[in-house]
């Protein structure tokens, strides 16, 4: 990527921040980031272009890409599951199409699309491979499937569009639903897991995801113009990975299995009542195996993971501990960069 001029959409988000901090070390000549969310400017280099620009705005995206001579785009922008339905559909479908249309007009060489393993729904078969059927759960999963269809449409028109399907990724500065876990662990509480915790649930450290994105952006077009799963290569049963996090905390926190049917029914009710931040894809998969094969990206791109589930959880939790005082003054929100309102979960925390 030496000498490339790169645009990161959704640049104020968790992945956008890590890409902004990492790509300049890999030779990128110019880096622009856009988002509708505000940037914490002190986290970005002064020579980066930070723009509050909506991916759904055709004229604005055209000017951003054209005027800055962008040749590579990493499309991270997405409305997350807690956003209003209309925002999810317009951002994750209309925003994708608009970004590709403006990129095509400007002759952009390559667009890396960040999808999600949420496109697989809640399958029984594992490990999941890229050719397995897709079935979105909720508006987010559904719109990611539609986004991938748009990718294939523009590929047929001659564009190079690698699709990355990452597992849930965490690391330094990752909050969102994981701040709830870190808060409970830090309080020395019993940590309820849905079911017995004997299922395998794969995560991904954000640095490993960045390595995958870098390879998709820099290797030859005929190699990367495809779809790739990305996830940790070493992961244990849920009770072991969460147990390792509790052991790291060293304050008495411990895993507490719960009856899955009862808890999932309660969480579905709480979601319907809008008093819980946990949405269907989170609690629907929490007691089931959930992992993908990374053989394709290993063999075609030479990618490998450097971090296990345990590594990723502990790294992320350690960052939380170092910043929890300043985080206590932060307003809750619906992105991965801020904590989520625990809602009724706070009540249950008191008794655990």
What are the residue boundaries of the structural domains of the chain, listed by start?
Answer: 5-169+204-230, 171-202+233-290+308-350
How confident is the model over 171-181, as pLDDT tens digits? 999 988 899 99
Say if domain 171-202+233-290+308-350 classifies as CATH 2.40.128.
no
Fold of the domain spanning 5-169+204-230: Rossmann fold (3.40.50)
Give 168: exposed, middle or buried? Use CB within 10 Å, 0-12, 13-18, 19+: buried
pLDDT at 2 over 90: no
How confident is the model over 96-127, as pLDDT tens digits? 999 999 999 999 999 999 999 999 998 889 99
pLDDT of residue 136: 81
Separation CA 322–CA 296 (nearest Å): 37
Separation CA 209–CA 333 (nearest Å): 24
Q: What is the mean pLDDT of the chain?
A: 94
Nearest alpha-carbon partner for 191 in 204, 178, 203: 178
Nearest alpha-carbon partner for 74 in 189, 233, 168, 212: 212
Give 260: exposed, middle or buried? Use CB within 10 Å, 0-12, 13-18, 19+: middle
Q: Which two tokens stand for residue 227?
A: 């779809």
Q: Which two tokens stand for residue 243?
A: 């147990």
pLDDT of residue 349: 84
Cα separation values, 264 from 13, 176, 261, 270, 344, Å: 29, 20, 5, 10, 14
pLDDT at 336 over 90: no
pLDDT of residue 337: 82
pLDDT at 193 over 90: yes
How confident is the model over 79-98, as pLDDT tens digits? 998 899 999 999 999 999 99
pLDDT of residue 76: 98
Coil vs helix vs strand at 6: strand
């Amino acid at each position: 990527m030496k000498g490339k001029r790169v645009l990161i959409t959704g640049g104020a988000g968790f992945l956008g921040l890590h890409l902004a901090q990492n790509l300049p070390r890999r030779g990128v000549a110019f880096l622009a980031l856009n988002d509708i969310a505000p940037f914490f400017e002190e986290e970005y280099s002064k020579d980066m272009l930070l723009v509050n620009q909506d991916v759904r705005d055709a004229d604005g995206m055209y000017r951003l890409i054209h005027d800055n001579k962008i040749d590579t785009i990493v499309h991270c922008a997405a409305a997350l599951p807690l956003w209003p339905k209309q925002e999810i559909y317009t951002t994750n479908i209309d925003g994708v199409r608009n970004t590709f249309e403006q990129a095509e007009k400007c002759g952009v060489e390559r667009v890396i699309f960040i999808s999600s393993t949420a496109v697989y729904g809640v399958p029984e078969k594992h490990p999941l491979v890229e050719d397995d059927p897709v079935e979105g759960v909720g508006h987010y999963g559904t719109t990611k499937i539609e986004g991938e269809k748009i990718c294939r449409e523009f590929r047929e028109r001659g564009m190079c569009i690698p699709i990355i399907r990452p597992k849930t990724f965490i690391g330094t500065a990752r909050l969102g639903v994981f701040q709830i876990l870190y808060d409970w662990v830090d309080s020395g509480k019993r940590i309820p897991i849905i079911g017995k915790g004997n299922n395998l649930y794969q995560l991904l450290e954000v640095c490993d995801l960045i390595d995958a994105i870098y390879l998709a952006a820099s290797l030859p077009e005929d190699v990367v113009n495809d779809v790739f799963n990305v996830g940790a290569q070493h992961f244990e049963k849920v009770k072991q990975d969460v147990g390792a996090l509790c052991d790291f905390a060293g304050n008495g926190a411990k895993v507490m299995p719960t009856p899955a049917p009862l808890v999932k029914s309660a969480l579905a009710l709480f979601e319907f009542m809008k008093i819980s931040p946990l949405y269907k894809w989170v609690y629907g998969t929490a007691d089931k195996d959930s992992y993908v094969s990374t053989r394709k990206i290993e063999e075609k791109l030479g990618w490998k993971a450097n971090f296990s589930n345990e590594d990723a959880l502990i790294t992320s939790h350690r960052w939380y501990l170092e910043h929890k005082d300043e985080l206590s003054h932060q307003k809750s929100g619906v992105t991965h960069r801020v904590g989520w309102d625990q809602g009724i979960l706070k009540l249950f925390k008191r008794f655990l």
